[in-house]
Amino acid sequence: MSRHSFSFGPYYDPTNTAFGCLIAHNDDVLAAGAGFPEHPHRDLEIVTWVLAGELEHTDSEGGSAALRPGMVGRLSTGSGVRHAETNAADGDTRYVQMWLVPDADGVPSYETADVSDALGDGFVVVASGIPLAPVRLRRAGATFLVARTPTGRSATIPAAPLLHIYVARGRVTLVANAPIALAEGDAVRISDASPVRIDAVEDAEVLAWAMFSS
């Protein structure tokens, strides 16, 4: 199963190819033992967030890791790298993979961080072009945030010129200019540079990209 926020592979819509510097946002489920054999990428920042199970990453530069819930992985492809991804769990593995256009060159590299202890009601910076982020991106002005918000609690996303918000689990009310009810798998794009509040109708995990440039 896969959910695509933008055109991807055979699912092509010329009016929906990007939002800011974000060009792919895929929610994928792999069965036990399934995966993607080694294949090439270039000129991308690939950010992976695991929701359930365990995703094994290997690449041609020697990078490797087993990503579990609460961990983020970032593959900077540079001028070219090959990588493979496999479900390393006994059951299904569900993960969200996001692609950004970098604004800096560099050799291919792979980095992970476990942010489990930092996750709570509010939005936590997980990957960013800003210094001191758990995982550093080669894209200035782009920040990936995650909130795990229990029923009845709220979390606020700071204002940014462009916001892409995705409900990975649960149900929420998004409060911006007007309240919007969102369920698992729903996404919203906002481009008015206002703070956004998320009210959890049930336990929720929400992913957000704050972008200051396209």
The CATH number of the domain holding residue 206 is: 2.60.120.10
Predicted pLDDT at 1? 67
According to the model, what pLDDT value does residue 168 have? 97
Looking at the fold, whether 110 and 150 belong to one and the same domain comes out as no
- The residue behind tokens 């149900």 is 171
Tally of domains in the chain: 2
Structure confidence at residue 214 (pLDDT): 63
What does the pLDDT average to over 186-195? 90
130 located within any domain:
no
Domain boundary among 96, 115, 134: 115
pLDDT tens for 14-36 read 888 999 999 999 999 999 988 77
Pair 22, 111 in one domain: yes
Averaged pLDDT, 134-159 = 96
Domain that holds residue 168: 142-211
- Examine the domain organization and report whether 156 and 98 are in the same domain: no
Within a domain: 81: yes
pLDDT of 193 > 80? The answer is: no
pLDDT at 49 (0 to 100): 98
61-80 pLDDT, tens per residue? 888 889 999 999 999 999 88
Average pLDDT over residues 156-175: 96
Residues 110 and 147 in one domain: no
**Domain-located, residue 131:** no
- Same domain assignment for residues 149 and 103: no
Is 164 in the same domain as 95? no
Residues 151 and 74 in one domain: no
Q: Which of 115, 132, 161 is the last residue before a domain boundary? A: 115
Whether residue 24 is contained in a domain is answered as yes
SS (H, E, C) the chain: CEEECCCECCECCCCCCCECCEEEEEEEEECCCCEEEEEEECCCEEEEEEEECCEEEEECCCCEEEECCCEEEEEECCCCEEEEEEECCCCCEEEEEEEECCCCCCCCEEEEEECHHHCCCCCEEEEECCCCCCEECCCCCEEEEEEEECCCCEEEECCCCEEEEEEEECEEEEECCCEEEEECCCEEEECCCCCEEEEECCCEEEEEEEECCC
In a domain, 127, yes or no: no
Does residue 12 lie in a domain region?
no
